[in-house]
Structure 1
């Protein structure tokens, strides 16, 4: 049984639902509430069991403010991430467009290493106001080496999937490194 710890950066523009996703994930969907704007960084921790193993990954989710005002502080807190969760609002073309900037910023904190990541379109409950097409988001995510998910934190739809995927990816990278080490010994 192996218990790993992974630093997960949660990034995206203000009001896309990053904090709601993180807190609903931590509480196993126990509650949704409207959140106030995150100032700086909020840390959420949750252990994720890895299917078909006795292993688990403890995700340390750094829920960071989307405001540029906090960007210098983020540089220090974002150092050496293991996984990335980019979030946009499906009703905001601007929040989707900003994902490239957030991805670049996160990858700059992990130069020379693989940074597994997901792109999450949140607020699917607002289908009538959608401006970002699912296929467009999926195509962009794949072009960037990211897995794509859509969620509704408010309706508790698919909120666990991105985090479980990231935990599995991190575990898989760990397993590959262990196997590489064993071939060297």
Structure 2
């Protein structure tokens, strides 16, 4: 079975729990005293899904403002983006808009996007409404999930949704291939020779437009 490889970037402000989400997903552990990430690194995980087999290379980037200028270096060529905000911090949700705009600016194509409202275990302190989060995600073609790096809630489901959509995107025939097949079909159907590298022109046909 072919294994597709995909680059995923974790983005979000400092202290929203990006690194904790990644470690919970890969190692199923949680450290409440984890320090903020000050550099970029990645971990990988292979998934066997109905759509195929995929190996995710998940890049964790620093969220502090001083590192924003460097972050675009790490998310170039990304197939997917996992954007994290803290449900108890409305400012962290506002910054999600910054990351999406930057992704669209830096990347040639918009990646598959997950928006994760982390710290779902602190739901009683929630400051970002579910309606606002889901509406914003829908407007940007993203899927919204609630997650908890502490309990593991929603993390597996969010990554699986991201991987599934990436695989579906990879499995779709490229537009160029579809156009080529369509052209070839017409040539056979009309029983004509119209290839650009032909040496002889069809007889009884004048040059020029008709």
Alignment of 1:23-172 (within 5 A): 23-27=23-27, 29=28, 31-34=29-32, 35-50=34-49, 52-53=50-51, 55-111=52-108, 113-172=109-168
TM-score by length of 1: 0.91
Taking only aligned residues, the RMSD between alpha carbons, in angstroms, comes to 1.6
After superposition, give the CA deviation of every residue in 1:69-98 in whole Å (9 maximum; x if it has no partner): 112221212212110111000000000011
Superposed displacement of residue 131, structure 1 = 0.5
| Structure 1 residue ranges without an equivalent (≥5) | none
Instruction: Provide the aligned length of Structure 1 versus Structure 2.
Output: 180
Q: Which residue of 2 aligns with 1:13?
A: 13
Specify which structure has the bigger relative contact order, considering alpha-carbon pairs within 8 angstroms and separated by 6 or more residues: 1
CA distance, structure 2, for counterparts of residue 135 and residue 71 of structure 1:
28
Q: Greater CA radius of gyration, 1 or 2?
A: 2
Superposed displacement of residue 19, structure 1 = 0.4
SS in 1 for 2:69: helix
CA distance, structure 1, for counterparts of residue 19 and residue 59 of structure 2:
10
SS in 1 for 2:122: helix
Superposed displacement of residue 179, structure 1 = 8.7
Superposed displacement of residue 182, structure 1 = 6.6
| Structure 2 residue ranges without an equivalent (≥5) | 182-210
